[in-house]
């Protein structure tokens, strides 16, 4: 019996999605509960292997249960257990799915949000929730720079050295940049991303926003196919896995 | 030289506004920095003495400096020091004011926001930021109940036993309740409030929203002039001091 779970988490004190030996991950929290339900160990697969510090508004995983369970009971079993452990993880939704469904391989589109707080004073209430940038950023210039990233490209310049993807070629469907109050919000969508791709794109576009490099430089960085050509990786705390489409 | 400071803080790990012997308060963080600037100790007065766990989007305080300083330098001096200590406090704005200005006594209106997260699943990202109520609340009924609180009343039923105000009679100017996505937001305004008044009103209106008491019961509770007649105090983490008008 296969089920699709939609998950929220605060990544601040987590080592990310993937199980690690030196601290708690979302995968370990969920697998320990699933193991209790099944009486045996199974690995849980997610749509996105988010890094330490990265949040999720709607991560998706699938689980297999030995015996059918009502959807609300699955949700309560997970959330009751997660709350008791004070885990920064919550199950938002449970749906029954076909055995052929894979949270990872069936995903047609992944969406991320990146939040920059662009004001002089830091925000204690948004600590670990945004990237605090205390000098003004030019949104129009960032949009112009971002436009070169849309489409089918070799994203080597925006790929972490640890990235395990077979190919650096990806299709970026959307990168929208909006001002919302004191925040600058990036909305990014693709079928899939390279490791650190969103954070490396945001970190480089921020240089454009500061006026340190012109928008056209983004095209040159892309063409260079060299990680060293691009800017730094934006901090994890501003990134949210916001949707997965199937 | 008197200055008005607007302050944001995350109250989660603070013992509240007021200086305590057993942990950090907003007052202590700010006074320690002011003492360094002046070379002598002065007490700082705020518009609202928020409790432990309560947040501020725009608390107001006034300070006196021995010698004039540029406004941006005051802001940087406080924020540099607060950031270095990893204090959950930030100075948003600094203005020069007349010596007769008092953050506390000159205030004409105080505004609070109370956030309820009204959905089945808990939210790790909103932990300590909202009151999580997992069963449906009827907003229309809460609005009807709230309408009895507007105006000039004896608020004894909504007053903490520790309240030091001389009189329990206050004028409530506004209590608006809005649905915003999965949240129910209370906006409350008055010249001043009794201790725990907002949290006691929200805790009681939540009983109306659940259907446990009818809206008209709010009028009876008010008339009873007895704290025991009202509902429980809503949790601190959902409350934000949001504005002070002078």
Looking at the fold, whether B170 and B127 belong to one and the same domain comes out as yes
Beta-ladder partners of B51? B16
For residue B93, the chain A residue with the least C-alpha distance is: A121
CB contact under 8 A, A125 and B55: yes
CA-based nearest residue to B7, from B32, B26, B34: B26
Confidence of residue A26 (pLDDT cuts 50, 70, 90): very high
A37 lies in some domain: yes
User: CA separation (Å) from A210 to A116, A128, B173?
Assistant: 13, 22, 44
Residue A93 resides in a domain:
yes
pLDDT in tens, A120-138: 999 999 999 999 999 999 9
- Confidence category of residue A78, pLDDT binned at 50, 70, 90: very high
Q: Residue B178 has what pLDDT?
A: 98
Pair A190, A173: CB distance under 8 Å: yes
pTM for the predicted model, two decimal places = 0.95
Say yes or no for a CB contact (<8 Å) between A9 and B92. Answer: no
Please report whether residue A148 resides in a domain: yes
Residues of B identified as active-site: 51
Residue owning tokens 């001091």: B241
CATH number of the domain where residue B129 is located: 3.30.70.660
B104 belongs to a structural domain = no
The count of domains in chain A is: 2
Q: Tell whether B38 is covered by a domain.
A: yes
State yes or no: pLDDT of A243 exceeds 90. yes
pLDDT value at residue A161: 85
* B190: containing domain: 109-245
The answer on A133 and A29 residing in a single domain is no
Same domain, B229 and B120: yes
Tell me what pLDDT residue B208 has: 98
Whether A10 and B83 lie within 8 Å, measured CB to CB: no
The A residues from 45 to 84 touching B (CB cutoff 8 Å) are: 55, 57, 75, 79, 82-83
Indicate the SS3 state at residue B138: coil
Is the distance from CB of A126 to CB of B92 less than 8 angstroms? no
With CB atoms and an 8 Å threshold, state whether B75 touches A122.
no
What is the reported pLDDT for B152? 98
Whether residue B120 is found in the same domain as residue B84? no
The helix, strand and coil proportions of chain B, stated in percent and rounded to the nearest 5, come to 30, 30, 40
Instruction: Say what the pLDDT of residue A163 is.
Output: 84
Last residue of a domain, one of A39, A65, A97: A97
Mean pLDDT of A10-29: 96
Domain CATH for A31: 3.30.70.580
B76, B97, B118 — which closes off a domain?
B97
Q: Are residues A53 and A134 in the same domain?
A: no
Question: So what's the pLDDT on residue A5?
Answer: 98
Contact A200, A231 (CB under 8 A): yes
Residue that finishes a domain, picked among B97, B121, B147:
B97
Is the same domain home to B48 and B120?
no
Residue A102 falls inside a structural domain: no
One domain for residues B194 and B152: yes
The reply to whether B159 falls in a domain is yes
Co-location of A201 and A124 in the same domain: yes
Looking at the structure, tell me whether residues B73 and B150 fall in a common domain.
no
B127 and B214 part of one domain: yes
pLDDT in tens, chain B (246 residues): 999 999 999 999 999 999 999 999 999 999 999 999 999 999 999 999 999 999 999 999 999 999 999 999 999 999 999 999 999 999 999 999 999 999 999 999 999 999 999 999 999 999 999 999 999 999 999 999 999 999 999 999 999 988 888 899 999 999 999 999 999 999 999 999 999 999 999 999 999 999 999 999 999 999 999 999 999 999 999 999 999 999
* Catalytic residue from among A10, A22, A51, A64: A51
Assess if residue B68 is contained within a domain. Answer: yes
Measured between beta carbons, which residues in chain A are less than 8 angstroms from residue B79?
A: 121-122
Beta-strand relationship, A183-190 and A169-180: antiparallel
Residues A103 and B12: their CA atoms lie apart, in Å, by: 35
Tell me how far apart the alpha carbons of residues B105 and B191 are, in angstroms, rounded to a whole number. Answer: 10
pLDDT at A165 over 90: no
A162 band by pLDDT with thresholds 50, 70 and 90: confident
Q: Which residues of B touch A11 (CB under 8 A)?
A: none
pLDDT of residue A230: 95
**A99 catalytic, yes or no?**
no
- State the Cα–Cα distance between residues A145 and A151, nearest whole angstrom: 13
Per-residue pLDDT at B161: 85
pLDDT confidence tier of residue A189, bands split at 50, 70 and 90: very high
Query: Is the domain of B126 the same as that of B235?
Result: yes
Average pLDDT, chain A: 97
On whether both A166 and A68 belong to a single domain, the answer is no
């Amino acid at each position: 019996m296969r089920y699709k779970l939609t998950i929220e988490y605060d990544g601040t004190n987590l080592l990310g999605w993937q199980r690690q030996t030196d601290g708690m991950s979302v995968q370990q929290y969920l697998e320990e509960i699933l193991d209790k339900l099944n009486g045996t160990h199974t690995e849980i697969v997610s749509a996105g292997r988010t890094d330490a510090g990265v949040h999720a508004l709607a991560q998706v995983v699938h689980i297999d249960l030995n015996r059918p369970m009502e959807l609300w009971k699955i949700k309560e079993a997970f959330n009751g257990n997660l709350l008791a452990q004070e885990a920064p993880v919550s199950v938002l939704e449970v749906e029954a799915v076909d055995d052929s469904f894979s949270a990872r391989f069936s995903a047609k589109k992944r969406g991320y949000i990146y939040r920059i707080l662009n004001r002089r004073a830091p925000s204690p209430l948004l600590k670990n929730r945004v990237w605090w940038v205390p000098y003004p950023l030019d949104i129009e210039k960032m949009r112009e720079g971002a436009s070169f990233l849309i489409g089918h490209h070799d994203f080597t310049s925006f790929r972490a050295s640890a990235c395990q993807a077979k190919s650096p070629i990806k299709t970026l469907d959307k990168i929208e940049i909006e001002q919302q109050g004191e925040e600058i919000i990036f909305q990014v969508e693709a079928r899939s991303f390279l490791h650190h791709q969103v954070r490396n794109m945001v970190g480089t576009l921020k240089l454009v926003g500061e006026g340190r490099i012109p928008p056209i430089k983004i095209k040159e960085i892309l063409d260079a196919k060299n990680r060293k050509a691009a800017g730094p990786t934006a901090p994890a705390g501003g990134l949210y896995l916001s949707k997965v489409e199937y």
